[in-house]
Amino acid sequence: MPKAASGCRKRHHVGKLKLNLKRGQSFRDAAFMGIMRWSFYNRLKEEYPNVNTAYGYTAKNTRVRNGLEKDHAAGARCTGGNPKSIPLDAIYMQKDATASFIRRLSIGGKRKLNQAPKYMRGYQLFGRVQMPGGRKEFIFGRRSSGSFDARTLDGEKISAGISFKKLQENYYSN
Q: In terms of pTM, does the model score above 0.85?
A: no
Q: Of 115, 130, 114, which is closest to residue 164 (Cα–Cα)?
A: 130
Asked whether the beta carbons of 146 and 124 are under 8 A apart, the reply is no
Number of domains in the chain: 2
Same domain? 111 vs 159: yes
Q: Is residue 85 part of a domain?
A: no
Q: Is residue 17 part of a domain?
A: no
Q: Is residue 15 part of a domain?
A: no
Asked whether the beta carbons of 131 and 158 are under 8 A apart, the reply is yes
**Length of the chain counted residue by residue:** 174
Q: Is residue 48 part of a domain?
A: yes
Structural domain span for residue 150: 106-166
Torsion sign over Cα 151, 155, 157, 162:
positive
Residue 153's CATH number: 2.30.30
Q: Is residue 93 part of a domain?
A: no
Asked whether the beta carbons of 78 and 57 are under 8 A apart, the reply is no
Q: Is residue 21 part of a domain?
A: no
- Predicted confidence (pLDDT) per residue in 53-79, tens digit: 888 898 999 999 999 999 888 888 998
Same domain? 117 vs 160: yes
- Predicted confidence (pLDDT) per residue in 131-174, tens digit: 888 888 888 888 878 788 888 877 788 888 888 888 875 555 44
Asked whether the beta carbons of 138 and 131 are under 8 A apart, the reply is no
Q: Is residue 132 part of a domain?
A: yes
